[in-house]
Amino acid sequence: MFKKCILTFLICLLGVDAQQQVGLRATPNGGVWTATMNDVITWIKLGKTSFEFNVTGPATGYVAMAISRDKLMGPDDDVYLCGRTAPTSATLRTRTGYLNARGPPVLTADIQSNVALVANRLTCQFVRHNNVTKYINNVTTTWDLNKNKFYLLYAAGEVNTAGEPSYHDEHRFASSYLIDFVNGTVDATTTAAVTAPNNMMTTSSTSSAVAISIVCYVMPFILMNMM
């Protein structure tokens, strides 16, 4: 229940209306990246050593996220992919691997996760340690959230009869800025081209902003009292 309270609060922090619900927000406890209204990544800090990531997207086949140094696909991105084991299968799994080029990821292992199909949406929850090391082309590669800032990549697409991901065509996004996950900050000085808008609220009225702020403040306490 406590994690649900934190997640509710983080989503509320976006403070946007239905017409502008795209943006990136980080706090010391976690953050939210809404690439589109239907493609969302959230993260919650679990102590000093790991984060819980939640990825939500279309239920057509798979959703995936990656920790990236440069917003590009490869040559060394840390990938997590959740999806069906066949195009119409209700059996789901989550795998990890890496991107070393533009194209489907190299998936190396299954990982423990909570994956579900709800209201034609695929939701995926898993834990990632702050410091992750993998071997890419026999070279040791490390993504350490304690020491470095990273971009988030997101993609969704279909799977083939073997459950392997197809290329995602245009359904892919990159966060606008580098994220300091541990300290909960966004580096707004790092701007580059993205495939989807990531603007925070810019035109909402003052009254709307105040109302949202009140709801965001009160909701976690309401949920905690329901425990």
- Confidence at residue 16, expressed as pLDDT on a 0 to 100 scale: 36
DSSP letter (8 states) at residue 69: S
Torsion of CA 10, 16, 20, 23, to 10 degrees: -30
Q: Which pLDDT tens digit goes with each residue over 189-214?
A: 654 333 333 333 222 232 333 333 33
The label of the residue with tokens 């959703």 reads: 63
Query: Hey, where are the domains in the chain?
Result: 1-20+201-227, 21-200
What would the mean pLDDT of 64-68 be, rounded to a whole number?
97
More confident residue, 215 or 102: 102
Q: Which pLDDT tens digit goes with each residue over 112-164?
A: 999 999 989 999 999 999 999 999 988 999 999 999 999 999 999 999 999 99
Q: Determine whether domain 21-200 maps to CATH 1.10.10.10.
A: no
What is the spatial distance between Cα 166 and Cα 39, in angstroms, rounded to a whole number?
Answer: 18
The answer to whether residues 34 and 200 touch, using CB atoms and an 8 Å cutoff, is no
Q: Phi and psi dihedrals of 52, rounded to 5?
A: -100, 120
- Confidence at residue 220, expressed as pLDDT on a 0 to 100 scale: 43
- Confidence at residue 188, expressed as pLDDT on a 0 to 100 scale: 77
What is this structure's pTM?
Answer: 0.76
Q: Which pLDDT tens digit goes with each residue over 151-188?
A: 999 999 999 999 999 876 668 999 999 999 999 999 97
Query: If you count them, how many residues does the chain have?
Result: 227
The answer to whether residues 17 and 204 touch, using CB atoms and an 8 Å cutoff, is yes
